[in-house]
Amino acid sequence: MAPSAFMASSPAPALRRPPLDACTGLRFFAALGVVSYHFYCPPCEPNAPAFLGNLFRAGFTTVSLFFVLSGFILAYNYLDERGGFVGTTRDFYRARFARIYPIYLLALAVDLPLFLRLLSHAEPTAAPGEVAQICAATLTLTQAWLEGGRPVWNTMAWTLSAEAFFYALFPFLGVWLARQSSRRLLSVAVSAWVLGMAPFLAGELVSSLGAQGTGALTVRILTAWSELPSQLVPLLRLPEFVLGLCLGLLFCRRTRQGSQAWRTAGLITTIGAIAAVLILLPPTPSAIVQMGVLVPLFAVCIWLLACGVAWSGMGMGTRPLLRLGGASYALYLTHGSLMGFALALNTRTLTLPHNTVALLLAPAAVAASLVLFQFVEEPARHWLRKAPRRVARTGALG
């Protein structure tokens, strides 16, 4: 995720831009999509209706929604219309660390028993050096750059590794984009969209060319390009973030936005189009469908919600959804661990069908995320953001 998509939608104070409440509520549905993907087991009982099953199995695509929303909110909060950066780079990095790391560290602690179990069953056995590398990469949010296929400490954490990469780039990439014309921003957005599809299109071309052209230079280049998704995950997802940045900057420069009725109708139509794509196409959408079709539709949803739609953002700007959206980061990071523990306990006790366990656990996972948001995430964030002031006052007194 989200995944920033995992950041509050409140703008930086210096900009005095109104909060995008509906975008905060949208984060909950993005997290819920990922939860449904990880919780639902298609061959298991009880089976969901076919259309719901297709939606659940496509839930992983909302990670893209997180990344686009991440760029959009960062641009909205930290970049002004003149191409300036609000605040200092140090303050930005400190705020991001305070926002993501405390609950991230707690999520790793919760997942530790499951990680140790994975290590004990790894084939081939994980050497001490490999274990140290995995732990160091996870704690430093660089694990998305490691080769896949080995034990992972918290399966969900790779998205935070990608987000950390985006955060590192943002003060420089964001400012450069903010100084471009609107026409160029639109060109960059379209280019990012095409570039995001390129590795997957290359893979399709390699498959269609087959073994006959194996020795051809073109095929070797396409093969190398198609293998990027498994080797350079943060770079693979960067186009989604860049698209969000461009969208956020264009949103801040908009001169007109149409009537609320038209925006509401547009949002309903867009949500309907997303549902139709997920329900009517084969389950588990391909990466080309995800980037080529769903990402533009996600971008339209974000734009329309940010502009404002009826019924308090179609429910996404209401107080309950604001709270759930705030807790979406905790939900995203902890739901996989909770499911792991629940399934292990179920195997030894009740032996309920998998999807029954998932159905019972989903509201419990949401409730747990609200508790973590209120009593861990928010207090830790405020404490860390105020820490430099406390140090400064102590130094002055000393």
Contact of 185 with 250, CB cutoff 8 Å = yes
Rounded Cα gap, residues 132 and 338, in angstroms: 25
Mean pLDDT of 17-46: 94
Question: Residue range 68-95: average pLDDT?
Answer: 92
pTM over 0.85: yes
Mean pLDDT of the 241-262 span: 93
* Integer Cα distance of 237 and 157 in angstroms: 14
C-alpha distance from residue 155 to each of 34, 325, 366 (Å): 12, 21, 18
Is residue 215's pLDDT more than 90? no
Using DSSP's 3-state secondary structure scheme, residue 85 falls into strand
> At which residue do the structure tokens 């990402």 appear?
295
Instruction: Give per-residue pLDDT as tens, 326-371.
Output: 999 999 999 999 999 999 999 999 899 999 999 999 999 999 999 9
SS3 of 79, please? strand
Cis amide linkage into residue 124, ω under 30° from 0: yes
- Mean pLDDT score of the chain: 89
Among 177-181, 191-195, 212-216, 239-243, the least confident range: 212-216
Q: How many CB atoms lie within 10 A of CB 129?
A: 8
Residue-level pLDDT at 78: 95
Give the whole-angstrom CA distance, residue 134 versus residue 388: 31
The top-scoring range by mean pLDDT among 118-132, 202-216, 236-250 is: 236-250
Distance, CA of 287 to chain centre: 16
For 230-246, what is the mean pLDDT?
Answer: 91
pLDDT at 278: 92
Tell me the three state secondary structure of residue 196: helix
Question: What is the C-alpha to C-alpha distance for residues 24 and 7, in angstroms, rounded to an integer?
Answer: 8
Q: How confident is the model at residue 200 (pLDDT cuts 50, 70, 90)?
A: confident
Predicted pLDDT at 70: 98
Instruction: Out of 65-69, 154-158, 363-367, pick the least confident.
Output: 154-158
Q: What is the mean pLDDT of residues 279-293?
A: 90
Query: Cβ(108)–Cβ(153) under 8 Å?
Result: yes
Backbone angle region of 353, left / alpha / beta, with phi > 0 → left and psi within -120 to 50 → alpha: beta
Nearest to 73 by CA among 237, 255, 314, 244: 244
Structure tokens at 241: 């973030």
Q: Is the pLDDT of residue 9 over 50?
A: no
Q: Quote the tokens at residue 264.
A: 């509401």
pLDDT, residue 150, reads 81
Query: Tokens at residue 73, please?
Result: 């909110």
The per-residue pLDDT for 386 is 81
- Block residue for tokens 């003060």: 171
What value does the mean pLDDT take over residues 27-43? 95
Helix (H, G, I), strand (E, B) or coil at 355: helix
Q: Determine contact, residues 325/22, Cβ cutoff 8 Å.
A: no
H helices of the chain, in order, are: 21-39, 50-57, 62-78, 89-120, 128-139, 158-178, 182-209, 217-226, 228-231, 233-253, 260-280, 287-289, 295-307, 310-314, 319-326, 328-348, 354-372, 378-397
Which amino acid appears at position 333 of this protein? L
What is the Cα–Cα distance from 172 to 191, expressed in whole angstroms? 19
Which are the contacts of 392, defined by CB distance < 8 A and separation ≥ 6?
none
pLDDT over threshold 60, residue 211: no
Contacts of 337 (CB under 8 A, 6+ apart): 107, 110, 111, 114, 154
**pLDDT tens, position by position, 370-396:** 999 999 999 999 999 886 655 444 344
